[in-house]
Chains A and B, each alone.
Chain A
């Protein structure tokens, strides 16, 4: 039967409450007489804590307790971000700095008071004596032999080192007709969700039980980790992610504050609340990128890329994060660097280096924004050296339809996806040929007009055979759906995935409605609640449509079979002759039908209609594992003009052609692409966390940390190539792609615009200041030439 809901642009069911202020976020919880926490955060980048005096703070008005690391040692076990990776040191995670501080913003003490105001007053009364140990502000310097060690137990500041190798890169590079390379950098970025991190711990005295409401996208992982750390079984620790105002990865790891609030709730027997202010959120939530990549690519005379090598230094910050480890972002750079291209030989080496900054962690796109930036810059440089158009050189190197499944040089296997189809569709939609004509005309007038292309592929909906983060011990390969029809005929579908803006309440209901045969509006979706399914890891890594959707499909079908069996009794028809749709089971080709309500009544309430053995409870649970996962791909084309007077970049046109498989809701897919590209524009042109040599964050407010706002984000064209994947439903994950493609496409467009000046783009964001410096360099070069 043709699906009625999957594929339809249904308006998001969560929007009316979110847009009219009726959402309920963690901070909106109103437990009985809650206490409020304020954290004293280190102003030192790296120092031994010689003494903490909390005596004055303890007696400050409203203060109930003051905790330092010493006060809570017996109340928890440190959480270890374990990994089987060799050359990896797992830094333990503790709620409060112990012995020393390792970045500005690290929590040193917690004041618990009757109001946040009084708590912040008391913060000022805590005295801490620090003995400075020297800031490690830059990864390149922290690897030096004489650098101070951030974690003495590790014996090195290199917390993770890894190398991927295939073929003889050195020989292939030597044999290459053209070699291009450079040193590329993406600076540190904040994920910057609109809702800062926020936790409410509700303490239940009767059972010594805690319900933690957390602005997390991994409530199941948080439940399991805190349960282990506090020795509190899952039936006394419920973790709920209610409405969550964005994450982009920043709420996708366990945080010290989540541990602390639960420890405090138990210790004090009280409910507690904490919401990060913007400064705390920017300076203590996990951050993104911060990598420098020295890379080189070799091409044969026909423009075929034969070889690629890269050395990556990732500035991973002060700690590894749970559960992903500090390897997540930098290792992903080298594992995805060959991208959608058939490059025969490869060497990618990465070092993740500890510095005095907040940890890096998952950020929309993980590793691939920079791997794509580097690979796509190299493609353009290769094309330029060979006199090939950027479109043509990509055509010669992309994996073609008949070549899937294809294992790229780093070992990742791409399943059948429309790589070339996306490239062609984007070029057609952008009017590529005409753009080049326009460019030629603009250049004649001395205008700096550029066109940039970026193609990429990503792994989404990963199953149990592939670890989301290398060597990690937890299973991220499955998700559970639990669907029931209650005695009133109501349909409730519960999941462990945790939407934080993706619209899963809508899309999962679309799937359930189709596969169960319910009316869309009758399906209630519950998610992000650890009490609803036995185990879940949440929403991250573009997995929820594939894993949650797959589980929804399977569970729906099991439940539909139950409905058919009941209906066959009620309608005195063969089970195979019954069709379930629109909340009714009907005998095909007749008007004989029973509603879900009648079916439920027959099963649960009416003792005479059905034989006892036919009264099967109307529930179904299914745990879906796609085993491998599936590929998603896209090509972005950006057209920009650089204003030589202001050094500003204006995006004139933006086109995305993407293959996310079968589309569940095109309106939501478009929204995800728009949002991702907006963040990619931030990475390309605006956003940068600037730390000085003393480890102090200089761009800590939204005045100085500049994100794109509506006028800076252009209208964009999105073209969908719907090639069905092999997983249940034919879906592919698509929440991250916009952020992956946009920085590279814009970088290439700026490089193309500036190419008459003989300068190149190798660092992002390309702020007006950096463009000014490039243009100054061009003026200087031109003067040098004139002097010769």
Chain B
């Protein structure tokens, strides 16, 4: 289990990295934290001619407040996000989800840009980027462009980038909400999710003014459930709301099955997690 031969380059700037990818002629691959890429290389499931290591690019790792948004550099490690007070106060759903991202050793190394680019349907950060409606700044040979998270994830392990494009930073809008919840079930703590849901609720008196909901682990990509959001807007909150929410979520998601969980079980799980999440979101303030 050793990788096939590849060239290794370690550019110091994003411009140089993009140039290296362009020169690789579609045979290049970007190395960030390496937590998914290295196993793929070792299994020889990925065999790039050139490996472009971003770790020497210093200005890609940051977390900063920009008005009503939080910007995170693509090379920021999961652990830095997990421990960031800014994330804790401005993006609390993300802060809660970060401890579910694999294990500590992986969080020390893995990066947000890498996780989003890898586009695993059961990984937390891709789902959170949909949940928050994040925008990804990507750089290619013809300059920089912005991609909405909802356009970014094409299929399982597939994003919409061109081979020579690199994610540079991600901006997360700060959500106004009165309550929120993040629920996830995995076989073991730190495993990929069997099912997971993030929800936040803004109230007006005893009605739902706005709601945000995203799920993962059940389909080929994470999903933001705008249909459910629309149906819940302006409805009165009562003790049936969590059940109603659960019903709406399960009726608009058809789950995938795999080795760990059948479609039926995932569907059941998602329904139960949805109910629990809504109960929590309605019970908490802030």
Contact = CB atoms under 8 A, between A and B. Distances in A.
Interface string B250-277: 0000000001111011001100110010
Interface in A706-739: 706, 708-709, 711-712
A703 B2 contact: no
B1 A768 contact: no
Contacts of B192: 703
A645 B269 CA distance: 7
A709 B265 contact: no
A776 B268 CA distance: 10
Interface string B1-12: 111110000000
A645 B279 CA distance: 14
A768 B260 CA distance: 8
The interface centre, meaning the residue of B3, B42, B185, B265 with most chain A CB atoms within 10 A of its CB, is: B265
Contact of B261 (A120, A278, A280, A768): A768
A633 B110 CA distance: 47
Contacts of A645: 269, 272-273, 276
A686 interface: yes
A70 interface: no
A242 B219 CA distance: 48
Given A121-B5, A278-B1, A646 B269 contact: yes
B264 A772 contact: yes
Interface residues of B, number: 27
B272 A768 contact: no
B276 A768 contact: no
Contacts of A706: 187-188, 191, 260
A404 interface: no
A472 interface: no
Interface string B49-80: 00000000000000000000000000000000
B189 A768 contact: no
Interface in A264-287: 277-280
Contacts of A769: 260-262, 265
A658 B272 CA distance: 41
A709 B188 contact: yes
B272 A712 contact: no
Contacts of B191: 703, 706
A712 B188 contact: yes
A768 B265 contact: yes
Contacts of A90: none
Contacts of A278: 1
Contacts of A709: 188-190
Contacts of A522: none
A768 B187 contact: yes
B258 to A, nearest CB: 9
A773 B262 CA distance: 10
A524 to B, nearest CB: 36
Interface string B187-230: 11111101000000000000000000000000000000000000
A704 B4 contact: no
Contacts of B268: 647, 772
Contacts of A647: 265, 268-269
A279 B272 contact: no
A773 B261 CA distance: 11
A482 B226 CA distance: 76
A711 B188 contact: yes
A759 to B, nearest CB: 16
Contacts, number: 62
Nearest to A701: B39
Given A645-B276, A768-B194, A277 B265 contact: no
Interface size class of A (residues with CB under 8 A): 20 to 34
Contact of A120 (B2, B259, B272): B2
The interface centre, meaning the residue of B44, B188, B189, B194 with most chain A CB atoms within 10 A of its CB, is: B188
B247 to A, nearest CB: 15
Interface in A185-220: none
A474 B5 CA distance: 48
B264 A686 contact: no
A687 to B, nearest CB: 11
A648 interface: yes
B260 A704 contact: yes
Interface in A635-667: 645-648
A377 interface: no
A128 interface: no
B272 A646 contact: yes
A391 interface: no
B48 to A, nearest CB: 15
Nearest to A710: B189
B265 to A, nearest CB: 4
Contacts of B264: 772, 776
Contacts of B269: 645-647
A690 interface: yes
Nearest to B189: A711
Nearest to B271: A645
A780 interface: no
A223 interface: no
Contact of A117 (B2, B261, B265): B2
The interface centre, meaning the residue of A120, A686, A776 with most chain B CB atoms within 10 A of its CB, is: A120
A769 to B, nearest CB: 5
A484 to B, nearest CB: 44
A277 B43 CA distance: 10
A686 B276 CA distance: 25
Interface string A762-774: 0000011100110
Interface in B1-36: 1-5
Contacts of B3: 117
Contacts of B42: 277
A690 B259 contact: yes
A742 B251 CA distance: 40
B250 to A, nearest CB: 13
A708 B272 CA distance: 24
A251 interface: no
A698 B1 CA distance: 18
Contact of B259 (A121, A279, A698, A772): A698
A779 to B, nearest CB: 11
A397 interface: no
A575 interface: no
Contacts of A698: 259
Given A646-B269, A708-B188, A279 B261 contact: no
A116 B1 CA distance: 9
Nearest to B5: A121
Contacts of A708: 188
A641 B1 CA distance: 41
B169 to A, nearest CB: 29
Contact of B185 (A646, A704, A767): A646
A646 B188 CA distance: 12
Nearest to A698: B259
Given A646-B272, A704-B260, A279 B188 contact: no
A16 B140 CA distance: 52
Nearest to A646: B185
Q: Which 7 A-B pairs have the closest CB atoms?
A: A277-B1, A645-B272, A772-B265, A117-B2, A711-B189, A120-B2, A706-B187
22 contacts: A120-B1, A120-B2, A278-B1, A645-B276, A646-B272, A647-B265, A647-B268, A699-B259, A703-B191, A703-B192, A704-B260, A706-B188, A709-B188, A709-B189, A709-B190, A711-B188, A768-B187, A768-B261, A769-B260, A769-B261, A772-B262, A773-B265
Given A686-B187, A699-B259, A704-B259, 15 more contacts: A116-B2, A120-B44, A277-B42, A278-B1, A645-B269, A646-B185, A703-B192, A709-B189, A711-B188, A768-B194, A768-B261, A769-B261, A772-B262, A772-B264, A772-B265
Interface of B: 1-5, 42-44, 185, 187-192, 194, 259-262, 264-265, 268-269, 272-273, 276
Interface of A: 116-117, 120-121, 277-280, 645-648, 686, 690, 698-699, 703-704, 706, 708-709, 711-712, 767-769, 772-773, 776
